[in-house]
C-alpha cells in the first residue's frame, strides 16, 4: 500500500466503501496459483484487522480470567525462557476468546453470502466472495463489535446498553418461542426509557447503525461488482447474510436443548 493509499484509506472507509470491493482487472486470478495468492492476501488483510480489533481489548484486560489454570506443557516450554507462563497463557487465551466471536460471525457471513450467490446462480467463485467478505467484516463488522464492547464496558451509557440488551433478549426469545424450547434468554432485560438517553449514547448507537448499513452495503456492492450479479441477485445474497444471527441463535438453542 502506497503512502497516498494510506492517506485515502480512512476517507474511503467513510465516503467510498465500494472502493474496497471493486476488483481491479490486474488482480483477477488467471490460474490456481494466482487464486491462492489472492486468498492468502485477503486472509492476511482480514486477520490483521481481526488482531487490531482483539488486541486492544485484551490489553485492556477484557476477557482475562485470573483463575484460569496454565497447562503443564505451556509452563514447561516457557519457564526455561524466563517468561511467566501464567501471564502468557492468560493473555493468549483472552486474545483467542476476544477474536472468536468476530471470526465466527465472519465465517457465518461468508457461508450465507456465498450460498445466496450460488442459489441465484451468480457466483463466480469462493475467492471473489472472500474478497467482499474480508473487507466488509474486517472493517465494518469489527467496528460494530467494538462499538458493542464499548457500550458494555463504558460507564455512563447504561440506557443505550440496556436498549441493546433488550433488543438481543427479544430476538433470542422470538426463536425460543418459535421452536417451543423450554429455555429462557441468558440475560433478562426490559425496554428502557429512550427519552433518558444522552447525546453520547445516541451518537454511539448511530455509529453502530451506520456500521451495520456499511457492512451490508459493501456486501451488496461486492456481489454486484465482483460477481457481476444483478440488483435482485445481490439483494438476495445480502439478505442471506441477515440469516446469520438467526442461524447462530437457533444453533445455540438446539445445542443447549441437546445438552439438557
Domain ranges across the chain: 31-259
Q: At what angle do helices 199-226 and 142-153 cross, to 10 degrees?
A: 160
Contact assessment for residue 21 and residue 222, using Cβ atoms and an 8 Å cutoff: yes
Q: How many CA atoms lie within 13 A of 10 on its CB side?
A: 2
Contact assessment for residue 224 and residue 113, using Cβ atoms and an 8 Å cutoff: no
Q: Quick one: average pLDDT of 147-162?
A: 88
- The DSSP string of 103-151 is HHHHHHHHHHHHHHHHHTT----HHHHHHHHHHIIIIIIHHHHHHHHHH
Q: Quick one: average pLDDT of 77-82?
A: 78
Looking at the whole model, is its pTM more than 0.95?
Answer: no
Q: What is the pLDDT of residues 23-70, one digit of tens each?
A: 655 555 555 777 788 888 889 989 998 998 888 888 877 777 776 678
- C-alpha distances (whole Å) from 231 to each of 48, 70, 138, 228 are 31, 52, 24, 9
CB count within 10 Å of CB 229 equals 24
Q: At what angle do helices 126-135 and 32-59 cross, to 10 degrees?
A: 30
Q: How many CA atoms lie within 13 A of 157 on its CB side?
A: 19
**Is the C-alpha dihedral spanning 154, 160, 163, 164 positive or negative?**
negative
User: Among 184, 178, 175, 185, which residue's Cα sits nearest to residue 249?
Assistant: 175
Q: Cα 171 to the chain's mean position, in Å?
A: 18
- Kindly state the DSSP code that residue 20 receives in the 8-state scheme: G
Can you tell me the distance from the alpha carbon of 171 to that of 127, in angstroms, rounded to the nearest whole number? 32
* Per-residue pLDDT at 198: 93
Confidence category of residue 3, pLDDT binned at 50, 70, 90: low
Question: Which of 69-73, 183-187, 248-252 tops mean pLDDT?
Answer: 248-252
Q: What is the pLDDT of residues 200-240, one digit of tens each?
A: 999 999 999 999 999 999 999 999 988 999 999 999 999 99
Count of residues making up the chain? 260
In the chain, helix, strand, coil percent, each to 5? 80, 0, 20
* Per-residue pLDDT at 9: 62
> What residue spans of 154-242 are helical by DSSP H?
158-179, 199-226, 231-241
- C-alpha distances (whole Å) from 125 to each of 115, 128, 203, 223, 225 are 11, 6, 39, 11, 13
Amino acid at each position: 500500500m502506497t503512502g497516498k493509499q494510506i492517506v485515502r484509506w480512512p476517507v474511503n472507509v467513510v465516503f467510498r466503501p465500494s472502493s474496497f470491493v471493486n476488483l481491479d482487472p490486474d488482480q483477477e486470478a488467471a490460474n490456481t496459483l494466482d487464486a491462492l495468492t489472492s486468498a492468502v492476501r485477503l486472509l492476511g488483510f482480514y486477520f490483521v484487522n481481526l488482531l487490531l480489533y482483539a488486541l486492544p481489548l485484551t490489553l485492556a484486560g477484557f476477557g482475562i480470567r485470573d483463575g484460569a489454570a496454565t497447562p503443564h506443557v505451556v509452563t514447561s516450554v516457557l519457564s526455561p525462557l524466563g517468561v511467566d507462563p501464567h501471564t502468557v497463557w492468560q493473555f493468549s487465551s483472552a486474545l483467542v476468546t476476544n477474536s472468536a466471536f468476530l471470526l465466527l460471525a465472519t465465517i457465518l457471513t461468508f457461508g450465507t453470502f456465498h450460498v445466496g450467490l450460488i442459489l441465484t446462480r451468480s457466483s463466480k467463485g469462493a475467492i471473489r466472495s472472500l474478497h467482499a467478505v474480508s473487507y466488509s467484516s474486517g472493517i465494518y463488522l469489527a467496528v460494530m463489535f467494538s462499538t458493542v464492547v464499548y457500550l458494555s464496558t463504558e460507564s455512563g451509557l447504561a440506557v443505550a446498553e440496556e436498549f441493546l440488551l433488550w433488543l438481543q433478549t427479544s430476538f433470542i426469545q422470538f426463536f425460543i418461542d418459535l421452536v417451543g424450547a423450554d429455555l429462557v434468554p441468558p440475560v433478562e432485560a426490559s425496554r428502557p426509557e429512550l427519552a433518558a438517553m444522552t447525546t453520547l449514547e445516541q451518537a454511539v448507537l448511530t455509529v453502530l447503525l451506520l456500521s451495520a448499513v456499511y457492512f451490508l452495503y459493501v456486501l451488496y456492492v461486492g456481489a454486484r461488482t465482483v460477481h457481476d450479479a444483478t440488483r435482485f441477485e445481490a439483494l438476495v445474497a445480502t439478505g442471506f447474510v441477515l440469516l446469520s444471527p438467526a442461524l447462530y441463535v437457533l444453533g445455540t438453542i438446539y445445542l443447549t436443548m441437546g445438552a439438557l
